[in-house]
Amino acid sequence: MKILLILPLLLVTIFCSAQSINSNELVRVSNYQSPVPSKFRLYPTSNIFIFLRLNTSTGFIDLVQYSTKESEGSVIVKLSQFPLVLDGPVDRFTLYPTTNIWTFLLLDQVEGTPYQVQWSTDPEKRFVSRIYEAK
């Protein structure tokens, strides 16, 4: 009889603890890397309709926006102004999310050079900028 009373209480406790997710964790995006080498990778952003498409050989990044309406709003626009290298090996570059929803870090895994990647729906606020070592 005690088990019948304790079981519902236990289930309610488990359900409540599963619901207490920090809102910052919901914004964080994954940096899942497939074990298969790929020339292109898609990275999710905090905007459910926008992904970043990285050319892992050149470091060039596009903003990929999809729409739930057929042929409306789906578009690919350049985030990068130019490729960082002309033709490197596959998986030379990778993106890492930060706690800032608009910012990713791009790493050249051959040279070790980091870049700040700022994405936005506003073209004036998009950029890729090299991060230099302090002197």
Whether the pLDDT of residue 62 is over 70: the answer is yes
Q: Decide which of 16 and 115 is more confident.
A: 115
pLDDT of residue 59: 97
**pLDDT at residue 70 above 50?**
yes
Per the structure block, which two tokens stand in for 42? 């898609």
pLDDT at residue 123 is higher than 60: yes
Contacts of 47 (CB under 8 A, 6+ apart): 121
pLDDT at 111 over 50: yes
| pLDDT at position 36 | 85
The pLDDT of residue 72 is 77
pTM over 0.75: no
Q: Which of 52, 94, 56, 50 is closest to 73 using CA atoms?
A: 50
Compute the mean pLDDT over every residue in the chain, rounded to the nearest whole number: 82
Mind giving me the DSSP string for the chain?
-HHHHHHHHHHHHHHHHHH---HHHHH-------SS--SEEEEE-SSTTEEEEEETTT--EEEEE--SSTTSS-EEEE-SSS-SSSS--TT-EEEEE-SSTTEEEEEETTT--EEEEE--SSGGG-EEEEPPPP-
pLDDT above 50: residue 71? yes
Confidence of residue 11 (pLDDT cuts 50, 70, 90): very low
Sheet with 40-44, side-by-side order of all strands: 40-44, 50-55, 61-65, 75-78
- pLDDT tens-digit map of 73-86: 799 999 999 999 99
Pairwise CA distance, residues 93 & 112, whole Å: 10
Tokens linked to 60: 């060039």
Residue 106 near residue 89, CB atoms below 8 Å: no
Distance CA(25)–CA(33), nearest Å, equals 19
Report the pLDDT value the prediction gives residue 18, as an integer from 0 to 100.
45
